[in-house]
Amino acid sequence: MLGLAVEFADSFHLNNPGGVDAGVDVRVSPVDGGVTAARGMQASGVFAGVRKMKNDIAVVYSEIPAVGAGVYTTNRVKAAPVLVCMDHVGAGVIQAIAVVSGNANACTGEQGLEDGYAITEALGRELGIDPATVAYASTGVIGVRLPMDRVIPGIMNAARQLAPDGGHAAADAIMTTDTFAKECAVRVEIGGKEVTIGGMAKGSGMIHPNMATMLCFVTTDAAIEQPLLDTALKDVTERTFNCITVDGDTSTNDMVIAMANGLAGNDLIRDFGEDYARFAAALEFVCTDLAKKIARDGEGATKLIEVTVKGARTARDAKTIAMSIAESELVKTAVFGADANWGRIMCAAGYAGVDFEPSRVNIYIGSLQVAVNGMSADFSEERAKEILSAKEVEITVDLRCGFEKATVWTCDLTFDYVRINASYRS
């Protein structure tokens, strides 16, 4: 699987990109800058008073119109910003993104939708661009109208403070209960040209696939046709942001937005060939890094948990079982308590609704085997506790009935999760 962002150039292999058998070795070089690492991208983060004590408005801007793509929450209740983005980004061209932190603008009726479009109008007017190329996102409390008397001046102020090094400020401004800003950017060679892909995300609670309470914005200077960007984003989202869970709640506001302005000067990516494979691989690296940071920062969390299920008959079976384990409150609390209660892992696999033979299952915590052929292995409880006390915990379940695998990420469930969510509105 893909790792977290690395200090030096890293390489990984992407098989079957975009459904085409054109696997290539791709070497990516992590760089600083987040959403402003790519050519022609600017961003800002400012305080507008939506929240009490921190920056709460972010703007991301491309110097020229870019092709855009989006993936959105599957929640039947969709917030106004999701509907605005489905309209504007759905047209395929995007040049700016406005993000409001502290207010979800969800369940606010027709007025909430009008407020969303008013934000895109204001930002478009301030930047001198078509408001239809402005995306808008919000995160925060549900059921409360936006304080437009503060939001609009904040949007205009953010537009005036756009800068090529403003990515960090924007990543900070979009946080709610997050404990750290989540950014990633890499460079990759495509068609002899250096292409940069950067991103920022927020998410800490109400995290669950399809999607989570999370926002993610990806920028790139790659030249790529809109349908291919759309395909790459959807495929990568399925393997990254739809493979994390914190608490099983799917939000009303989730979205991943990508914009590609073509300023890298590579030949336009028009088909599912090697250039597309290289782009998709680098995009997956960025999104995997951001997804794992969201899981690591789960509200009250102390540990990142990586669950891998291998030896499955199908990839879908593997992911279904992995998510069942990752979503188990008993598994998550056992990891919090550093208790090698592998029976909870076996139980969660068993109720996932996938056919497998329990008597063939092997389970590992880190490199330590704790179950063999569906029964307890002779293992050291002290060694297991040591492994489970680390900041990152790996759980591997080998079904031994096929050749497919899947990896998902979650975090431990702690006392602080209840404390944070018991007083979220206050």
Tell me what pLDDT residue 75 has.
81
Q: Tokens 């007017």 label which residue?
A: 125
How many Å separate Cα 392 from the centre of its chain?
18
Q: Flag whether pLDDT at 52 surpasses 70.
A: yes
The pLDDT value recorded for residue 420 is 62
The per-residue pLDDT for 207 is: 43
Domain with CATH 3.60.70.12 in the chain: 22-296
The answer to whether the CB of 226 falls within 8 A of the CB of 68 is yes
Cβ count near 206 (within 10 Å): 24
Q: Which has the higher per-residue pLDDT, 211 or 143?
A: 143
Q: What is the pLDDT of residue 25?
A: 82
Give the side-chain half-sphere CA count within 13 A for 4: 12
Average pLDDT over residues 11-39: 71
Q: Can you tell me the distance from the alpha carbon of 34 to that of 280, in angstroms, rounded to the nearest whole number?
A: 18
Please spell the DSSP secondary structure of 159-181, one letter per residue.
HHT-BTT-HHHHHHHT-SS-SS-
The model's pTM is 0.84
CA atoms within a 13 Å half-sphere pointing along the CA-CB vector of 356: 34
List Cα–Cα distances, 35 to 139, 206, 212, 260, 320, in angstroms: 18, 24, 20, 11, 32
Asked whether the beta carbons of 235 and 256 are under 8 A apart, the reply is no
Which has the higher per-residue pLDDT, 231 or 411?
Answer: 231
Short-list 410, 408, 418, 203, CA closest to 304:
410
Cα separation, 376 vs 46, whole angstroms: 55
Pick the CATH number of 22-296 from 2.40.110.10, 3.60.70.12, 3.40.50.300, 1.10.1660.10: 3.60.70.12
Among 95-99, 203-207, 346-350, the minimum mean pLDDT is found in 203-207
Greatest alpha-carbon pair distance for the chain in Å reads 69
Task: Please state, rounded to an integer, the average pLDDT across all residues of the chain.
Answer: 89
**Do residues 246 and 332 make contact, with C-beta atoms less than 8 angstroms apart?**
no
Active site (catalytic) residues = 213
| Residue 74 burial (CB count, 10 A) | 12
Beta bridge partners of 387: none
* Strand intervals (E) in 142-220: 182-190, 193-203, 214-220
The predicted pLDDT at position 213 comes to: 53
Kindly tell me the sign of the dihedral angle through the C-alpha atoms of 47, 424, 287, 7. positive
Instruction: Tell the CATH superfamily of the 304-422 domain.
Output: ArgJ beta chain, C-terminal domain (3.10.20.340)
pLDDT for position 64: 98
DSSP 266: P
Which amino acid is present at 74? T
Instruction: Return d(Cα 283, Cα 196) in angstroms, integer.
Output: 10
**Residue 242 CA: distances (Å) to CA of 234, 272, 290, 362, 384:** 10, 23, 12, 26, 29
101 near 175, Cβ under 8 Å? yes
Confidence check: pLDDT of 18 > 60: no
For CATH 3.10.20.340, the residue range(s) in the chain are 304-422
Residue 19: pLDDT band by 50, 70, 90 thresholds?
Answer: very low
